[in-house]
Amino acid sequence: MAEVRESIQQGAPDEEELIAGARGADFDGMRIHSVRLPGLVAHQEVIFGNQGEGLTLRHDSYDRSSFMTGVNLGIKEVVKRHELVYGLEHLL
């Protein structure tokens, strides 16, 4: 599993890890790598493999405008809620 994000504003090297040791770590037998590079917004990649084969799932976000649909939904839904909601999946 790998992710690549812009090195400034988000995902800076001093950012706290959600899973201790996740950067380059082995989590339940899965290798996790995280890369921060200037000019990259967000790229996530999950690679499944076996001997002689591989399957790669990848998501690329080239501009922050790609997040605006979710931001817009969150803004519209937050005024309807009376309790904390964590995660957009609960608003869909």
Q: What pLDDT, in 10s, does the model give residues 37-91? A: 777 788 888 888 899 999 999 988 888 899 999 999 999 999 999 999 888 899 8
Using only C-alpha atoms, the chain has a radius of gyration, in whole angstroms, of 16
pTM of the model: 0.52
46 shares its domain with 78: no
Strand residue runs (E) in the chain:
2-5, 26-27, 30-31, 33-36, 42-50, 53-61
8 shares its domain with 52: yes
Total of domains in the chain: 2
pLDDT digits (tens, 9 = 90+) for 3-40: 556 555 555 555 555 656 555 677 788 777 777 777 77
Domain residues for the domain of 53 are 2-61
13 shares its domain with 50: yes
